[in-house]
Amino acid sequence: DGGITQSPKYLFRKEGQNVTLSCEQNLNHDAMYWYRQDPGQGLRLIYYSQIVNDFQKGDIAEGYSVSREKKESFPLTVTSAQKNPTAFYLCASSIQAPGLAGGGAKNIQYFGAGTRLSVL
């Protein structure tokens, strides 16, 4: 089945530790995104990537890093600089990123099941 796979489902971080959240898609989508969701809140964009080897900061990039070495993979590292990492992390992808002409369907974002990160 085509889709987006996030792992692990649950993750615990110790003080001063970096942790990496995995996101893999087999939809052949160019664009990928990382969002953070806090309880009862909406989604906030951390990073996004429109194409391999390119990524851009979102609204809350501080304390996070990403890479996009392969089209299907967009891992997120939560560094020790992120002082409040406890949240629900969501990865998404779309056929192409906004900013390119193409109409409504190409900008639909499809989401993974999420990773819930907690601090020990």
The residues in 11-30 that bind another protein, with binding defined as CB under 8 A, are: none
Indicate which single residue of 52, 63, 72, 106 sits in contact with another protein (rule: CB under 8 A).
106
Residue 9 near residue 58, CB atoms below 8 Å: no
Q: Is 102 in the site for another protein (CB under 8 A)?
A: yes
Q: Is 63 in the site for another protein (CB under 8 A)?
A: no
Q: Is 108 in the site for another protein (CB under 8 A)?
A: yes
Q: Is 105 in the site for another protein (CB under 8 A)?
A: yes
Q: Is 59 in the site for another protein (CB under 8 A)?
A: yes
Q: Which is nearer to another protein, 34 or 71 (CB)?
A: 34
Other CB atoms within 10 A of residue 86 CB: 13
- Tell me the β-bridge partners of 74: none
Q: Is 72 in the site for another protein (CB under 8 A)?
A: no
Binding site for another protein (CB under 8 A): 4, 6, 33, 35, 42-43, 45, 48, 56, 58-59, 88, 90, 92, 97-114, 116
